[in-house]
Structure formats: C-alpha cells, structure tokens
Chains A and B, each alone.
Chain A
C-alpha cells in the first residue's frame, strides 16, 4: 500500500440548503491516479473543488469535516489558500489558456511566485512544455497567442502551465470532455506519464476513461461516496448494487 497523500474524513458540504456532499471519507494514495465517477450532479466535481478550496469563491458554500494533505488539515484557520493552490493544481473542463502567448501562459505561475530571471523562466517553460508533451508542437510559436492552438493543445498548455508551479497534486475536472477522441488519447497518455511524479485525481464522465487511466476509482451518487477501491475490482466485481447499475449503464 502506497503512502496516503490526501485523507478526507467526515466531509460535508452545504450549498445554501442543498446538502451537496454527505459525510465523505476517502484516502488518496501518492503517485496514483484516482478517478471520480458518477452521474451529473452527483457531487464529484464539487468534491474535487474542496481539495484546493476553489469552493471558497462561491457565496453560500459551507464546508465541515477534515481534509488532510500530508497530515495537515487544509481547512484550518491559518491555512494559506494561495500556497495550498500552489501545491494542489487544477485543470478545468474547458481549456482556459490566458489570452497571451504560450510562453507567458507557462511563465505566469512562476512569475507571480517571484521568479524574474529570464534564463530561469526559459528553462521552466521548456521543461514544463516537455513534461506536457507539447514542446515539439509549439517550440516555433512560443511567442504567439495560445488561443491560436487547437483545443487539445490548449488543454496541454493548461497542464504545462500547472506543472510550471511544481504542484504535488493535480486535480483534473473532466479534462477531455471538450476534446475530440485523438486529443483525448493524448491527454490520457500524458496522465500515464505524469503519475510517476504526481498524485492525480480526475473527474470523468466517461467510464472507459476511468478504467483506462486510473488505479483507484471512487463512485459518487447524490453526494454520497458509494464505493471506493481498486479500479479493476470496481469495474469487474462491484460490491454495491448501485455501482453495478451505474457502470453497466442502467442509469446516468
């Protein structure tokens, strides 16, 4: 059993009167890909956003329970959200590169965190783009707008932008849902490469994708974590009837 990176206990999230996450308990292993699956509105994306406290930005959200990152509660009073988000990065559903050059997109994180040296930035940009398997495709157009790239390339710019701040955990919120199959395949291959160095949690609508990329799968339904375990056994011999119904396509 690998080391536990994130440990969630008794997590509840209320959005106004709506109880969006109900007493979720879960442990995320280090250097593992954990997939969160479930029908729309089941709370999987909401759960993902509690992990880097992106829900803080939404008015009316109340979180209680504990989320330990390397043993420390990220919801404690004195937690510095900014440095937390540096450690736990996020890739969104739709590629959202800044309307700037590819270079400036990647250099954005290091710059706001204080790296000014041009040579150092060049180094980070190249390293991050290589890590996101994008360098060969964009090295000739580093100084042109990132918005001129294809959707799949844009998503990889976003991943590279994230890698540039050297996070420990990558949260991916349906990162391929806006992409075509070929671009999706590239992102999935990239996830396989990245898991050597990062702990990855990916929300996906697509069960084949969960089966392909993840080692551990968690199934959410109506805010409850129904079942959680090694991907293979979740997909071949689920213990809960509802999990079975979902993965065999009876609903959702």
Chain B
C-alpha cells in the first residue's frame, strides 16, 4: 500500500512538471495502450469458450473431431480478427 502511494505521488509530481502538450500526449499513449489491452480481453474470452466447447464436442463424439476442428479453427481466426482490429486501432492512434 505504501509503495502504491509512493508511485501515485511520483506520478503526480511528474505530471505536474509536464507541459499541457506533453500531458496530453502522455494521456493519449496511456489510453491507446489501455484500449489495446481491453480489445484483447474479449477475443481471449471468446477463444477460450470456442476451444472449451470444441474439446467437449470432440470428447463426446470423437468421430466428428475433424468437423469440429475445422469449425473451431475458423471460429478462432474470426475471433482473432477482433484483437487485430484493436491492435491496428492502437497503432494508428499512437503512431500514424
């Protein structure tokens, strides 16, 4: 707790020394990073659910494993596209 307080005080001290433009750039960088992190959470949960259900289906019906794996692979790739869009938005906001 004490360490957190010390970090917060240090951050406030650093923020107080920044010019408004630097503070704005600093906040934009933090928000862009936060947005990318949030964008990766949803697909992570989605991929976990897809794989969980696929494993369950393959365990119940091993003869349909090929079909399930095909669906699973495409589902994961589509879900991953969301994370890629979040990443691209982060890169464009931060660097472009």
- Please determine whether chains A and B interact with each other in the same assembly: no
Name A's B-contacting residues (CB within 8 A): none
